[in-house]
A and B are shown apart, each in its own frame.
Chain A
């Protein structure tokens, strides 16, 4: 409606060089004075800040175009260089070309036949999809070897490039430096056709233009000076460099006019070269970078473009936008996964342009009357003539509201139900930006459902997120249809749900669905009311003495009808022979026609990133809307359940009885003795080496195995005493949080600390700490922690633990940067690929990479965990239907 109306589109961009005439033509002023402002603070005429170059001070008008600050784009000036200077960036090309042309007649060093042959190829290549650039490379190489010009029979001399900008001709008598004037003279005589063969397009750029005779001076808007608080003006780095150039240029000119000795002229000339080179690129190797008075290297033209903070990556590939907000996030279990809670303060600033029509005119009037300060109000009014009224400064808004007629546009406040984009950095995959529906709420944080934490990888330890408001109808439609959270449940990475339950939801589901859970009628009603259930209650599982419902019954009420599947739950012990429905742990889940018959619901059933789960089946068979509703209502129910019941873990949960602690001690002491024995055998040289390993490696491996075994059996002892009533065990078993290992580290023994993949071995000469003897290879001396987290670590153990922990931190830091770079490279390499209407995958210029995407043309996000069709389900569906009849 507003933004997407593209009237003009740039079709192509041509690159080229500016000829000296071009520079003079576009220049509005010749710059000759190496100074900025006079004593009164006015810019000096023909100086570096000449008023004709544009305006940077508010209130002034541009002398060239008459516009004020924001509207004047700035205008170029020019400097006439007293002597030509080579552009450092093109020195290499110039050197190559000079070697390929005759020093006398400037013709290309190819015979006429060769020229004809290559011209033929040049015509043929684009047609067969070859790059002519490679031909030019070949020609340059070939010409460099030619000794005698085939056109004028002049003998060719060797040319040497001395970085950055000097070219020497090496003759028998010694080497002579070619001045830029000499070089330019040679290049000027090269014909257009010869240039073409050498890979230079003479229509866009003749190489002699890279030998500068006149320098363009960028407008002041490109290099604005800033006024410090003290009133002192501080000039931009580019201006500093331009001042240097002009100063030397003027000196050179004066000396030339005065007929100064050759030596002085040459000195000044090379100084001018230095300044122009650093003006273009202050990072050229071989010359010291130009510095600011403070010693900081100047940021000149190349530096402005280059790198992560350069123009390209930071201003052109990524842009700052309006209609966006950022704040801290916090959880709200009562929100739907499709929603986002937006603070009212933010909703009052972000706006949506809405056109006034006959049908909404009353509403719009009301919004305008409410104005910018009361929430569902509006900030601006745009009249049919395009005039924009800022409602903040309107005295009586009801008057202006009366003038509203269809065709006006009201920029109204963001309100509940609007669609917005929500994003958390780093945006590693497409689920990092999803569309949510707004819920305007009090307080100052964005609120989000916990189900969307996994795709955003968000937690609430201070994370901030961004919000963007699409402004056009097309953008909103696309956001709603393609980007809404429920449409993104299935990840294209593996074709399974990336959104799902986590942590307490899983613990609660387990508590709800295990066999022992029964509820009275009031309790059932409470729970179902929170979940928003509005149907009939099923028959209670126990009728007397009181009516009781099982947790499985309650959970079943939310599973869509007609859904049947079975799988093993996360608490499955992986027994050798599975007893299926008779599992004593209730770990085999059976759902028949939407009814949870056996098994407990845990991570495997509806956890985030869990493929082939109950949640996955719901979304595949019933669609995203049903799946979202399932998750939202079950989520609310589970939160209510676990809030009422209470779920906590404390020291009690990791405290073992004295007898168990004793057994663990024994296990550890025995292990340590075993290690000592191993070391003894090693020292007596009686140890047999494993094939392909040295003795020491063998010993190390055996010790590690012994200690790992001890840790495991200690963990098992702990496990025996921590039953399924233990909250920590519930969390570990169901997959809600933590692992068996974490548990045994807390209750039994922390175990081996490692650095660089092995036992800790570095620190002092031959020992890890001065508390040990040199060469001690024992368990404790190499970082085996026998304490548990509960009992506490002794100082030596603490030290080893910190060493291992530090490595983990370093590892994470390094990993994020390396994997980030890998992803950036993958992204730039693959981003142009798209599926065409004929099903082929092609690059931007249209080259075919695949005839069918992934060899079968299936979209992974629409696949069923990688399979294009789930045949079992297709059969089940048809048979279920026809057999039922």
Chain B
């Protein structure tokens, strides 16, 4: 048999298989890849394909399978073995990132603010290997306050002025000029004071001459942002195989996306809410999966992705992030009994009473409470047989 006829046959069969969709694309691709370099006969090839399809179909979930319970167990059980130490240095020594059980709880809680928000920023492919560019972008991202470039704040009572002495060394480090600082102070203060720069000192002459106002303003100008984006307190530059990568302490996805030189396709944050607000629910789902996988594998826990995917899908099925717990999924269950059995029992019972709720008893908890067969696994099948009917047909 010539090689070309086999190849033709293979091509035809793969085409057919693609259409039939009996195999997931990943498996099909892998099969194609692995078969390519083997000298196979037509028969062998067909047998291999049949075998792969058969073993795939054999590994499918059975109807009625309690996939939720298994997923919950598979994620919960390793939790008992995880470290509780909140801080661990992951990759970058200077940044501490919450890991282990606390982080996992943070993810399933869908907290508004993670305890250690951080971003991973990749640069545009053109700039990725330029250290100076990377440093420049990092400077544009890192939030710099007046406070952090100033060496001294003082109130001059005679001139009725606030003097901010800027430290030239710190300024150079952050790539700032006195003019820039003056300008941003002026913008923020908006005419409430006259701002003038002289050498390394910026002087403010407030419109109001009250001492308390002066002091209040003195406090306020410390907090003025002169450079960078909000909430990003610190940026670390690291050289990785495919160029420089920036790691930040603090996260602000929206603003980071707008920084020039940042590769918007490879910008990550561990703040799920931000992802939801900026990129939408599908991205959030993927982020939940990715974050959970990272936490578990970091701790050396071998957990199948499918369980994590199920949790992520359950959390995002509504189009909004729902927490795993009484304020989210468990609290919005249909059955009053199931809710009452979880937490805040009394509230749910009283509420069900006044609303005249009807509980259709489709869930697990309700049926356990009533001592009935639960609708899962072998219990999800109803089979009625009439012995009389059977004899008739005979």
Chain B hits for A17, CB < 8 A = 353-354
**What is the CA–CA distance of A564 and B75 in the complex, to the nearest angstrom?**
33
* Set of chain A residues within 8 Å of B55, measured between Cβ atoms: 869-870, 874
- Interface check B386, CB cutoff 8 A: no
Residue B264 interfacial (CB < 8 Å)? no
With contact pairs A12-B358, A844-B334 given, residues A316 and B369 touching in the complex (Cβ less than 8 Å)? yes
Closest B residue to A879 using CB positions: B44
Option from A9, A834, A855, A882 in Cβ contact (under 8 Å) with B67? A834
Is A871 on the interface with B (CB-CB < 8 A)?
yes
**A10, A210, A495 pick with most chain B CB within 10 angstroms:** A10
Whether, in the assembled complex, A831 has its beta carbon less than 8 Å from a beta carbon of chain B, the answer is yes
Kindly state the separation between the CA atoms of A837 and B64 in the bound complex, as whole angstroms: 7
> C-beta contact mask, B38-71 vs A, less than 8 Å → 1, else 0?
1001011001100110011011111111111111
Instruction: Give the complex CA separation of A690 and B85 in angstroms.
Output: 24
Q: Is B283 an interface residue (CB 8 A)?
A: no
Q: A837 contacts which chain B residues (CB < 8 A)?
A: 63
- Nearest chain B CB to A7's CB is how many angstroms away? 12
Q: Which residue of A lies closest to B79 (CB)?
A: A819
A834–B353 touching, CB < 8 Å: no
Q: Which of B62, B73, B314 has its CB near the most chain A CB atoms (within 10 A)?
A: B73
- What is the 8 Å Cβ interface bit string for chain B, positions 347-376, against chain A (1 contact, 0 not)? 001101111111111111110111111011
Q: Is A157 an interface residue (CB 8 A)?
A: no
Query: Is B48 a contact of A875 with CB atoms below 8 Å?
Result: yes
Identify which of residues 80-96 in chain B touch chain A, using a CB-to-CB cut-off of 8 Å: 80, 82-85, 87, 93-95
A721 at the interface (CB under 8 A from B): no
In the docked arrangement, what's the CA distance between A873 and B317, Å?
A: 37
- B48 contact from A89, A692, A841, A874, Cβ within 8 A: A874
Q: Is the CB of A815 within 8 A of B101?
A: yes
Per the CB 8 Å criterion, the residue count for chain A at the interface is 107
Give the complex CA separation of A837 and B27 in angstroms: 23
Q: Which residue of A lies closest to B363 (CB)?
A: A844
A15 touches B80 (CB 8 A): no
Q: Indicate if the CB atoms of A829 and B64 lie closer than 8 Å.
A: no
A835 to B71, CA, bound (A): 13
CB-CB < 8 A to A833: which residues of B? 66-69, 71, 310, 314
Known: A835-B64, A854-B305, A868-B27. A691 touches B358 (CB 8 A): no
Interface: A493 (CB within 8 A): yes
Q: Are B67 and A853 in contact (CB under 8 A)?
A: yes
Name the residue of chain B whose CB is nearest to the CB of A427: B73
Asked if A1 is an interface residue, CB under 8 A from chain B, the answer is no
Q: A12-B360, A831-B69, A874-B55 are in contact. Are A849 and B313 (CB under 8 A)?
A: yes
Q: Is the CB of A495 within 8 A of B56?
A: no
Is A830's beta carbon under 8 Å from chain B? yes
Which of A174-182, A200-208, A522-530 participates in binding chain B? A200-208
A13-B61 in contact given A831-B364, A832-B364, A875-B38 (Cβ < 8 Å): no
Q: Does A856 contact B (CB under 8 A)?
A: yes
Residues of B within 8 A of A691 (CB): 94, 236
Q: Does B340 contact A (CB under 8 A)?
A: yes
- Is the beta-carbon distance between B69 and A830 smaller than 8 angstroms? yes
Contact B354 A90 (CB under 8 A): yes
- CB distance B359 to A12 under 8 Å? yes
B279 contacts the other chain (CB 8 A)? no
B41 closest partner in A (C-beta): A882
**Contacts known (A305-B345, A827-B76); A10 close to B353, Cβ less than 8 A:** no
Q: A862 at the A/B interface (Cβ < 8 Å)?
A: yes
B303 smallest CB distance to A (angstroms): 6
* Complex CA distance for A469 and B345, rounded to whole angstroms: 33
Bound form: Cα–Cα A863–B303 in Å: 12
Q: State whether the Cβ of B260 lies closer than 8 Å to any Cβ in chain A.
A: no
**Is residue B337 contacting chain A, with contact meaning CB distance below 8 A?**
yes
User: Using an 8 Å CB-CB cutoff, how does the interface string of B300-317 with A read, 1 for contact, 0 for none?
Assistant: 001111110111011001
Q: Are A15 and B353 in touch, CB under 8 angstroms? A: yes
- A10: B residues at CB distance < 8 A: 361, 370, 372
Contact B27 A830 (CB under 8 A): no
Q: A844-B334, A874-B51 are in contact. Are A495 and B372 (CB under 8 A)?
A: no
B78 within 8 Å of A (CB atoms): yes
B104 an interface residue at 8 Å Cβ cutoff? Answer: yes
A828–B67 CB distance below 8 A: no
Chain A nearest CB, measured from B254 CB (Å): 24
Nearest Cβ on chain B to A487's Cβ, whole angstroms: 13
B356 touches A493 (CB 8 A): no
Contact of B307 among A478, A849, A860 (CB under 8 A): A860
Interchain CB contact under 8 A, A878 and B44:
yes
Whether the pair A823, B79 counts as a contact (CB closer than 8 A) is yes
Asked, given contacts A478-B378, A757-B85, A823-B72, whether A830 binds B34 with beta carbons under 8 Å apart, the answer is no
Which residue of chain B has its CB nearest to the CB of A303? B346
Which residue, A611, A757, A818, A874, has most C-beta atoms of chain B within 10 A? A874
Closest Cβ of chain A to B300, distance in Å, is: 11
Q: From the candidates A826, A863, A870, name the one contacting B76 in the complex (CB within 8 A).
A: A826
Assess whether B345 is in contact with A829, with CB atoms less than 8 Å apart. no
Which residues of A sit under 8 angstroms from B362, Cβ to Cβ?
832, 844-846
Q: Are A306 and B345 in contact (CB-based, < 8 A)? A: yes
Q: How far, in whole Å, are A692 and B234 apart by their CA atoms in the complex?
A: 8
The reply to whether the CB of B330 lies closer than 8 angstroms to some CB of chain A is: yes
If A9-B372, A493-B302, A831-B69 touch, whether A878 touches B51 (CB-CB below 8 Å) is yes
Given A815-B84, A875-B48, A850 and B313 contact (CB-CB distance below 8 Å): yes
B43: min CB distance to chain A, Å: 7
**B48 and A878 contacting across the interface, CB-CB below 8 Å:** yes
**Is A866 positioned at the interface, with any CB of B under 8 Å from its CB?**
yes
Within the complex, which residue of A210, A319, A858 is in contact with B306, where a contact is CB–CB below 8 Å? A858
Interface 1/0 per residue, A247-258 and B, CB below 8 Å: 000000000000
Instruction: Write out the residue numbers on chain B whose beta carbons fall within 8 Å of the beta carbon of A6.
Output: 372-373
Assess the A90–B313 pair: CB atoms within 8 A: no
Task: Tell me if B170 counts as interface (CB < 8 A to partner A).
Answer: no
Query: Which chain A residues lie closer than 8 Å to B44 at the CB level?
Result: 878-879, 882
Known: A12-B361, A429-B74, A844-B362. A819 touches B82 (CB 8 A): yes
Task: Give the 4 A-B residue pairs with the shortest CB-CB distance, closest first.
Answer: A204-B356, A201-B356, A854-B306, A823-B76
Offer 24 A-B interface pairs, CB within 8 angstroms, sorted by A: A9-B372, A12-B360, A133-B355, A429-B74, A493-B303, A819-B79, A822-B105, A823-B75, A826-B324, A828-B365, A830-B71, A830-B311, A831-B365, A833-B310, A844-B363, A846-B362, A855-B306, A859-B59, A860-B306, A866-B304, A866-B305, A871-B27, A871-B34, A874-B48
In addition to A13-B337, A493-B304, A845-B362, 19 A-B residue pairs with Cβ atoms within 8 Å of each other are A15-B352, A17-B354, A90-B350, A281-B346, A492-B73, A494-B304, A815-B84, A822-B76, A828-B342, A830-B310, A831-B364, A834-B376, A853-B67, A854-B309, A855-B309, A858-B59, A860-B70, A866-B305, A878-B47
B interface residues, Cβ below 8 angstroms from A: 23-24, 26-27, 30-31, 34-35, 38, 41, 43-44, 47-48, 51-52, 55-56, 58-80, 82-85, 87, 93-95, 101, 104-105, 108, 234, 236, 302-307, 309-311, 313-314, 317, 324-325, 328-330, 333-338, 340-342, 345-346, 349-350, 352-366, 368-373, 375-378, 380
* Chain A residues in the interface with B (C-beta under 8 A): 4, 6, 9-17, 89-90, 93, 133, 199-201, 203-205, 207, 210, 281, 302, 305-307, 310, 312-313, 316-317, 319, 428-430, 478, 482, 492-496, 609, 611, 690-693, 701, 757, 811, 814-816, 818-820, 822-823, 825-837, 839, 841, 844-850, 853-864, 866, 868-872, 874-875, 877-879, 882
